[in-house]
Amino acid sequence: MAQLAKMGNTTRNRSLLRVEHLNVHYRTRRGLVKAVRNVNFELGPRENLAVIGESESGKSTLGLALVGLLPRSAEFTANQLVYFGTHRPLDLSSCGEENMRQWRWQEVAIVFQAALSAFNPVLSIFDQFVDTARAHGLRDRSEIRRRALELLELVQLDPKRVLDAYSHELSGGMRQRVLIALALLLEPKVLILDEPTTALDILTQRIVIELLRKLKEELDLAMVLISHDLSLAAELADRVATMYAGQFVEHGSVHRVFYSAQHPYSRGLIGGVPRVQGSVQDLTSIPGSPPDLIDLPSGCKFHERCQYATQLCRRKEPVMELVDTVGVGHAVACLRWRKINEAASGDRAQEDN
């Protein structure tokens, strides 16, 4: 279990972030929405973890929990949610809102999903930088300007043009890059990006992916990339976790998860992406739709959509099990992963004959 909780950290003694048994429930009139359930992982310096999954799998909720920005209707519990950054370890599960507010954006920053509409329309881009800086006690406008110009250049924008503009004067791709620059203002050690490319056209997506790749190479920054865009994960992540009904159901190196996925859900997600050499017939999709998070099915939460499910899967909920301990490790929460693997290898062998 200890090994599983530490999954993923290649520099085990130097974790930047440790998350243990994280749960988030939203109180609603219909009942408790179990949006995140028992999530465990560690993130080392400069590591990139991609969290992928269908809509409503709890990805954004996880991101908000990691920065302590959940709405009041959310109930949050964790054994540990600790940042080991530049300051003393900060345990979000016990530090209180005031402490978190102080360190947020210095330890960890987030670029929100659909954040393109998050700008204040009556403030210039420079004033948005000033606002963020002031909230953390930085008052020297010329110093803020110098830093803002530097960051806008880093995200490959024309700094002088952008700094005095208003958000409505910028394209979607420019605004996304401004938001990334803003998030970097206080030099966080961890940056969470929630769907950074989803709202953008294909060419602008490419620009943002290239920018994130550059930041990954040049900055001392770990990232959590939340997305249903698998290409983003494949290009930028070191590790991938697939999320289903609020849980991580598979977690491993990007190579292991993309080339040797063990969970039928991960196989379905990856099978739905066209390949250059594949044909349209090779594409698969996952039948059915995600479960109601208020009234979750018994046993494995994926069993109603899984072609391999047995009676046991309907009764018993699988826990994460190590498939491979090499490197960052590879774990899966499926009772039948060995059998499914054998069946898949058999099919491949038949195709070869």
Nearest residue relative to Mg ion (C-beta) = 60
Report the SS3 class of residue 81: strand
Token output for 63: 């991101």
Site string for Mg ion, 54-73 (x = CB under 5 A): -----xx-------------
Alpha-carbon gap, residue 200 to 50, rounded angstroms? 19
Count of residues touching Mg ion (by CB under 5 A) = 3
Among 7, 33, 82, 157, binds ligand ATP (CB under 6 A): 33
In the chain the first and final C-alpha atoms are separated, in Å, by 41
Among 35, 111, 236, 241, binds ligand ATP (CB under 6 A): 35
Q: Closest Cα to residue 293, out of 8, 47, 34? A: 34
Q: Tell me: does residue 247 bind ligand ATP (CB under 6 A).
A: no
Alpha-carbon gap, residue 288 to 210, rounded angstroms? 35
* Residue 86 interface partner, choices ligand ATP, Mg ion, none, CB cut-off 5-8 Å depending on type: none
Asked whether 240 and 252 are in contact (CB, 8 A), the reply is: yes
Q: Tell me: does residue 73 bind ligand ATP (CB under 6 A).
A: yes
Site string for ligand ATP, 45-64 (x = CB under 6 A): --------x-xxxxxxx---
CA 186 to chain centre: 21
Would you say 40 or 113 has its CB closer to ligand ATP?
A: 113
Token output for 187: 């030099």
Alpha-carbon gap, residue 299 to 72, rounded angstroms? 30
Specify the residue for token string 């991960």: 266
Would you say 206 or 228 has its CB closer to ligand ATP?
A: 228
Phi-psi region of 288 (alpha: psi -120 to 50; beta: other; left: phi over 0): left
Q: Tell me: does residue 227 bind Mg ion (CB under 5 A).
A: no
Alpha-carbon gap, residue 12 to 15, rounded angstroms? 6
* Residue 228 interface partner, choices ligand ATP, Mg ion, none, CB cut-off 5-8 Å depending on type: ligand ATP
* Residue 61 interface partner, choices ligand ATP, Mg ion, none, CB cut-off 5-8 Å depending on type: ligand ATP
Q: Tell me: does residue 113 bind ligand ATP (CB under 6 A).
A: yes
Site string for ligand ATP, 278-317 (x = CB under 6 A): ---------------x------------------------
Token output for 19: 């998350």
Token output for 310: 């047995």
Q: How far is the CB of 195 from Mg ion (least distance, A)?
A: 6
Would you say 36 or 82 has its CB closer to ligand ATP?
A: 36
Contact positions vs ligand ATP (CB under 6 A):
26, 28, 33, 35, 53, 55-61, 71, 73, 113, 228, 293
